[in-house]
Structure 1
């Protein structure tokens, strides 16, 4: 009886030890996975945001968004090993008034860099120039009121003389004036080297092709690069 009892006790001890080791292993694995998940979330939350806020030009109308200049910006940043996340806040047909009204949706997280590309649709529709300027100023003010440390770049725009040469000339002056008044970085003309070239634009003559967006990216990248250094 003693022998049987000792044998039974021995097997009981082995089984209990095995269960403890097994549970300990699972607990360790669970802990390691939890730590890994926490690290991933932490790294993701530490990414600095670059917000492109604009119309169909920013959205990449007619092409794959990855081939539009915001997508090209993300690809270049990734290739350089920099920890920035690009958000494409482009909406086709957007005006400065529309942008001002929907801006709050994009300011739930603080952008490190805010690139403002709006106004072209205002000009094509003949919207009063004082209204366009007021809205651009309002967008910049709203960003700064919530996030004073956010860097801001304003993309300058020009329009064809459909509304008359006087309107076209005055429209062009809005962007330098806003940039000076609010002390933000100005890209003189976003579509420099692209506008008016049928080989670089879709059949509508307004929206750049993939090749056109590569040139636009070349125009904006020096300003982006300087801001994130």
Structure 2
């Protein structure tokens, strides 16, 4: 049994994530998934087996997208909804494994009929458990963190390099203010690089450019304080096909984000040229709904950032 397995099991059984209880979903959901057996060995056994958006007043509460099915890669062999992805990742955690290192169809008997719809708070807890397990089980392994919203959350694990651990800390609907509030779960980790993809939900919620830039600056300061030797990559905000978010606004904001990264001495990853069509919108062949990426879109992202790996 691996150290990471023992650690994960003890975290789940003892609830050692500050201020959190390990059973927020309905009790029967956790009972069915964790089997509620008393020993660590039992716990760690591997049972493999487009909408019109109206901006609203600025709110610092991350939006939880009502439907996440469209943001995943549509194949029957891997999760295609937030419910399924949550169930798969929880099952991987239970078995003492990191889901980003597993085949896409891992734990299919668990997730294929999943119907429990996790809340933003559920995702916060799950990601905190994953971060805690990796923090204490990383050893000499290299670690990279993906941080942000649903675009980061649904990055296909099979497209991640195998020379390191990958910790995916993306949450559907999250904003710059939401990410800023949850950075503490990474304090004990030792990543060599952190990739941040966030900001589009701020625009959908009517948050001002000034507020977005202020939050990004605070995120950078916070990450540099806790990870002084880590390379920090801030992604540009991707173009969209939504009329409610003008092309020129995203262009101006990305120009300002680039200037911010230069001021703060971190890296800027400009994805806008690779993803934009001739009118500046997200290329239709790269998206499922005008904002989220499809399989081709994720391959484009992978190719764009491959030189920095």
* Alignment TM-score, normalising by the size of structure 2: 0.50
Distance in 1, Cα, partners of 2:264 & 2:180: 16
Matching residue within 283, 290, 294 for 1:209:
294
1:72 aligned residue? 159
State yes or no: 1:193 paired with 2:278: no
Gap change, CA 1:104 and 1:55, over 3 Å in 2: same
Q: Secondary structure at the match of 1:111?
A: coil
Q: Once the 2 structures are TM-superposed, how far is the Cα of residue 69 of structure 1 from its aligned partner?
A: 5.1
2:195 aligned residue? 115
1:33 aligned residue? none
Q: Once the 2 structures are TM-superposed, how far is the Cα of residue 122 of structure 1 from its aligned partner?
A: 1.2
Matching residue within 109, 126, 147 for 2:227:
147
Q: Once the 2 structures are TM-superposed, how far is the Cα of residue 191 of structure 1 from its aligned partner?
A: 7.8
1:218 aligned residue? 303
Distance in 2, Cα, partners of 1:45 & 1:208: 33
Provide the aligned C-alpha RMSD in A: 2.4
Q: Does structure 1 conserve the Cα–Cα contact (< 8 Å) formed by 2:271 and 2:301?
A: no
Q: Does structure 2 conserve the Cα–Cα contact (< 8 Å) formed by 1:51 and 1:111?
A: yes
1:178 aligned residue? 260
Structure showing greater radius of gyration is 1
Distance in 1, Cα, partners of 2:237 & 2:247: 15
Matching residue within 153, 177, 189 for 1:59:
153
Q: Secondary structure at the match of 1:109?
A: coil
Gaps of 5+ in 1: 1-41, 61-67
Gap change, CA 1:44 and 1:143, over 3 Å in 2: closer
Gaps of 5+ in 2: 1-135
Q: Does structure 1 conserve the Cα–Cα contact (< 8 Å) formed by 2:176 and 2:212?
A: yes
Q: Secondary structure at the match of 1:192?
A: helix
Gap change, CA 1:156 and 1:69, over 3 Å in 2: farther
Q: Once the 2 structures are TM-superposed, how far is the Cα of residue 216 of structure 1 from its aligned partner?
A: 1.0
Distance in 2, Cα, partners of 1:112 & 1:187: 17
Q: Which structure is higher in helix share?
A: 1
Deviations 1:160-210 (A, max 9, x none): 5635566344322222112111111111126823662222211x2211111
1:87 aligned residue? 167
Q: Secondary structure at the match of 2:192?
A: strand
Q: Which structure is higher in strand share?
A: 1
Gap change, CA 1:215 and 1:122, over 3 Å in 2: same
Q: Does structure 1 conserve the Cα–Cα contact (< 8 Å) formed by 2:269 and 2:305?
A: yes
Q: Once the 2 structures are TM-superposed, how far is the Cα of residue 70 of structure 1 from its aligned partner?
A: 5.6
Q: Once the 2 structures are TM-superposed, how far is the Cα of residue 158 of structure 1 from its aligned partner?
A: 4.2
Q: Secondary structure at the match of 2:229?
A: coil
Q: Does structure 2 conserve the Cα–Cα contact (< 8 Å) formed by 1:126 and 1:163?
A: no
Q: Secondary structure at the match of 2:195?
A: strand
* Count of aligned pairs: 168
* Alignment TM-score, normalising by the size of structure 1: 0.66
